[in-house]
Amino acid sequence: MAMATFTSFPHLPSILSKPTPLFCRRLSFICFSSSLSFPSKTLMPDASPPSSSRSTIPVTIPRVALQSAPPSAFRNSKADAKSKPKPKKESKGIEQGKFNTGKDVKEGIARSAPPKYSKAARRFYNEHIKAKSDKTDEGPRRLNKVLAAAGVASRRNSDELIFQGKVTVNGTVCTSPQTKVDISKDSIYVNGNRLPKRLPHKLYFAVNKPKGYICSCGEEPKSIISLFDEYLKGWHRKHQGIPKPRLYTVGRLDVATTGLIIVTNDGDFAQRLSHPSSQIPKEYIATINGVVNRRHLIAISEGTLIEGIKCVPDFVELLPTQGDASRPRLKIVVHEGRNHEVRELVKNAGLELSSLKRVRINRFRLPSDLGLGKFVQLKDSDMKLLEG
């Protein structure tokens, strides 16, 4: 290690203000052993002319130690800093297990524990267990709705039973259909028969209606509900302690019209789907006897009066011929669902209707492999297409 010591120098200001460049470049690390010391007398500029006899100011220059390598403590601290993992940057305002608004939501930043179950297990639970529990009718509900959901009678007939005093709740005759009851807690009797403590799940079916069947909930042999006789016959074997569901159609189709119709036991869903205010489109395929010209299409697209209300279709199109079929086919889309609406539109255009089939409700289309008189239970994805 090279050591250098300087005791005095007559030109101190020039050294301090202009250090030697070569000397600075060679100093890699400097260790000061002492500091600069000045006399107690304050240095002031002297206006008198310089004199050679004036004594010089003693100056002590510190001892400078030149090192070719950094100290070991410095090297150790740098190595420790590189080995330590860098802390992750955390976004401000993010709570545990929650997403924040703005950029954090877009990037999906969240501090939450890993999922307890696998993705497949969670999907199975959501589709089969949670979906069924969400469709149950638990909690207080109106008495007439409970009777209808339990399959006792329709809501209107349930009102008549209540008015006639044939329904008791917790041992007291109830004559108000609006009375709130909880079937899991209250004791409800109808004509001396007690209602079960559980109600059937909400059920939704798509049916390919055959020609000649009517949309009725009665005991007619050719009603659409009669297509479910075999399904309901084994109900108690598969669902012990739960009454049979009371099924009915959503809307109506003419006795001569075939195709898609929905069957359910959910009255609120049926009301939403069938009410004209929902503006849900329905697609029909009409087979025509004779020739269809451009003027016929214009007449259909202009609409017609049905029960004093002007009904205009959403879409009319002449479909291409299919194989050996010689009769022209029209695709007609309507959204109001008035009684005999499509038949009246075709009749008003001067055409003769051979057959009519409904193939779509909203975005749900009749399955191509579903035969006449057959039905299929709808999945959650199908329900989204229906309600749209």
Per-residue confidence in pLDDT tens, the chain, 388 aa = 444 444 444 444 444 444 444 444 444 444 444 444 444 444 454 445 555 445 555 555 555 555 556 667 767 776 776 666 665 554 444 444 444 444 444 444 444 455 667 877 777 766 655 545 444 445 788 898 888 888 788 888 889 999 999 999 999 999 999 999 998 888 999 988 888 888 888 999 999 999 999 988 766 778 999 999 999 888 888 888 788 888 989 988 999 999 999 999 988 888 888 887 788 999 999 999 999 999 999 999 999 988 888 899 999 999 988 776 688 999 999 988 788 899 999 999 999 999 999 999 999 999 999 999 999 999 999 999 998 7
Q: Cβ–Cβ contacts within 10 Å for residue 254, how many?
A: 15
**Cα–Cα distance measured from residue 179 to residue 45, given in angstroms and rounded to the nearest whole number:** 108
User: In the prediction, which pLDDT does 130 show?
Assistant: 54
User: In the prediction, which pLDDT does 1 show?
Assistant: 42
Q: Given CATH 3.30.70.580, say whether it is the number of domain 204-274+376-387.
A: yes
User: In the prediction, which pLDDT does 262 show?
Assistant: 96
Closest CA to 371 of 258, 288, 281, 262: 258
User: In the prediction, which pLDDT does 41 show?
Assistant: 45
Catalytic residue chosen out of the listed positions 80, 254, 266, 382: 254
**Cα–Cα distance measured from residue 280 to residue 288, given in angstroms and rounded to the nearest whole number:** 25
Distances from the Cα of 350 to the Cα of 33, 143, 302, 344, angstroms: 116, 51, 13, 10
What 3-state class would DSSP assign to 23?
Answer: helix
- Burial class, 348, CB count within 10 angstroms (exposed 0-12 / middle 13-18 / buried 19+): middle
User: In the prediction, which pLDDT does 241 show?
Assistant: 79
Helix axes 267-274, 380-387, angle to 10 degrees: 40
Q: What is the pTM of this model?
A: 0.61
285 in Cβ contact with 330 (< 8 Å) = yes
Q: Which numeric CATH code is attached to 281-361? A: 3.30.70.1560
Q: How many residues does the chain have?
A: 388
- Structural tokens at position 36: 């600069």
Q: Cβ–Cβ contacts within 10 Å for residue 263, how many?
A: 24
Q: Cβ–Cβ contacts within 10 Å for residue 186, how many?
A: 17
What's phi and psi for 306, nearest 5 deg? -130, 115
Question: What value does the CA radius of gyration of the chain take, rounded to a whole number of Å?
Answer: 45
Active site residue 266: no
In the chain, where the domains are located: 141-194, 204-274+376-387, 281-361
| Residue 280 neighbours by CB under 8 Å, 6+ apart | 273, 335, 337, 361, 362, 388
Fold: same for 141-194 and 204-274+376-387: no
Distances from the Cα of 150 to the Cα of 70, 155, 182, 245, angstroms: 88, 11, 13, 6
State the alpha helices, DSSP H only, in the chain: 12-17, 21-26, 72-83, 103-107, 119-124, 131-134, 143-149, 155-163, 229-233, 235-238, 267-274, 294-302, 341-348, 380-387
Domain 141-194: CATH architecture, name and number where available:
Roll (3.10)
User: In the prediction, which pLDDT does 61 show?
Assistant: 55
- Structural tokens at position 338: 């008035």
Q: Cβ–Cβ contacts within 10 Å for residue 14, how many?
A: 10
What's phi and psi for 354, nearest 5 deg? -90, -45
